[in-house]
Amino acid sequence: MSTALAPSRPPVSEEFVLAHRRARILQGLAKAIAEKGYCECKVADIVRSARCARNTFYGFFGSKASASIALLDEVCPPLGEIFAGSDPSKSPGALLAVELSARWWSGEEDEALAATKEGEQIVRWLAGSALKLAPLGADDSLQGSLPPGRHGLPREFVRANQRQRLISGLAGAVAEHGFMAATVADITSHAAVSRRTFYEHFFSKEAAALAMVSAASSEAGDWLKPTGAKTALGIVGVEIVADRCVGSDVVPTPRASVLSVLTALRERFEEGEPGCRS
C-alpha cells in the first residue's frame, strides 16, 4: 500500500525572508530602546532582543542611528522623512520621536500616547510666558573672573562665584551647541574656570544641568529632578531653559520644532494600532 505524500509547501521567496528579518531587527530595536533609552541602548542589546547575529543587523543598517530612523519611518512616515539621515544622539527632536516611537512599536501604546501628551504640555509650559525664570547672575558681585593671585576673598564667596559662573557657562554652552553636543570643555570655556573647578562643584554635565534648571525655576527643577537630563524630554527641557537663561524671549526654531514632533506623533498614535510588529 502506497503512502500519500504530504503536499509540498511553496518555496518562500527571498524577499519575504529579508522583510521578516528586517521586521525582527526593528522589533528588537524598539524593545531595546523602550527598555534602556536610545543613548544607553547598544547594538548588542538590539541583536540580543531581535535574536539575530550582529552581521545580520549590519546587513540591513549601517548603524543604530539609521535603524532608529527606519523605525521612526515605519511609525510616522512624515517624521521619518524629516529626520532622514539624522543622528538622534545629536538632535533632540529626532531623539524624542525615536524613543516615543519605540515605546509605541514595542507594545506600550497607552504609555507612549500619555508621554506624548505630557511632553506637549511640558514643552509649552517651559517655553511659555507662564515660566518665570529668575535671572542667572542677578548678584553682580558673583559675576566676572576672580582677581589673580592671593586675593584674600572669603572661601564662601569664591565658591558661590565659581558655581554661578559655571551655571551661566552651561547655559551659554547649551544655547550655542545643544545639550548633547556641549562638552565640559565648552562649559568651562564659557565660565572661564578650570576643568578641575567644574568637577569640584558638579560630578557630571547632567548634574550641572539640573542645577541650572533649578536656579532658573524651582518648579522646572522639581520636574526634572526624578529623571535628570538623561531622557529625551529632559534634554529638550534643559535646552529650552538654557535658551531662556541667556536672554531668548522665544524658543528658537530647533526647540520649537519639538512641539511639531510631539503633535505629529500624538495624531499618529491616536489613529489606532501601529503597523505590523512581528
Q: Are residues 24 and 121 in the same domain?
A: yes
Q: Is residue 89 within 8 Å of 261, Cβ to Cβ?
A: no
Average pLDDT, the chain: 83
Spatial distance between the Cα atoms of 214 and 212, rounded to a whole number of angstroms: 5
Check residue 88 and report its DSSP letter. G
Higher pLDDT, 91 or 254: 91
230 in any annotated domain: yes
Gyration radius of the chain's alpha carbons: 24
Which grid coordinates belong to 106? 514595542
Q: Residue 76 belongs to what domain range? A: 14-127
Length of the chain equals 278
29 in any annotated domain: yes
pLDDT-based confidence at 131, cuts 50/70/90?
low
Q: Are residues 233 and 161 in the same domain?
A: yes
Sign of the dihedral defined by the CA atoms of residues 97, 99, 103, 105, in that order:
positive
**pLDDT tens for each residue of 153-164:** 677 888 888 898
Check residue 143 and report its DSSP letter. -
Which grid coordinates belong to 112? 507612549
Domain final residue pick, 68, 93, 127: 127
pLDDT value for 274:
60
Q: Are residues 145 and 253 in the same domain?
A: yes
Distance between first and last Cα of the chain: 44
Q: Are residues 118 and 149 in the same domain?
A: no
pLDDT value for 145:
55
Spatial distance between the Cα atoms of 234 and 5, rounded to a whole number of angstroms: 63
Q: Are residues 144 and 215 in the same domain?
A: yes
Written as one letter, the residue type at 142 is L
52 in any annotated domain: yes
Q: Are residues 104 and 152 in the same domain?
A: no
Q: Are residues 170 and 57 in the same domain?
A: no
Spatial distance between the Cα atoms of 268 and 261, rounded to a whole number of angstroms: 11
224 in any annotated domain: yes
* CA 74 to each of CA 69, 79, 185, 192, 276: distance values in angstroms, whole numbers, following the listed order: 9, 10, 38, 46, 9
Give the three-state DSSP class for 7: coil
Q: Is residue 157 within 8 Å of 174, Cβ to Cβ?
A: no
Number of structural domains found in the chain = 2
Percent of the chain at pLDDT above 90?
42
pLDDT value for 266:
92
Q: Are residues 75 and 186 in the same domain?
A: no
Nearest to 215 by CA among 169, 158, 248, 173: 169
Q: Are residues 239 and 153 in the same domain?
A: yes
Q: Are residues 52 and 104 in the same domain?
A: yes
122 in any annotated domain: yes
277 in any annotated domain: no
Q: Are residues 188 and 120 in the same domain?
A: no
**pTM: predicted TM-score of the whole model, two decimal places:** 0.74
1 in any annotated domain: no
Q: Is residue 204 within 8 Å of 228, Cβ to Cβ?
A: no
Average pLDDT (50-76) is: 94
3 in any annotated domain: no
Q: Are residues 95 and 183 in the same domain?
A: no
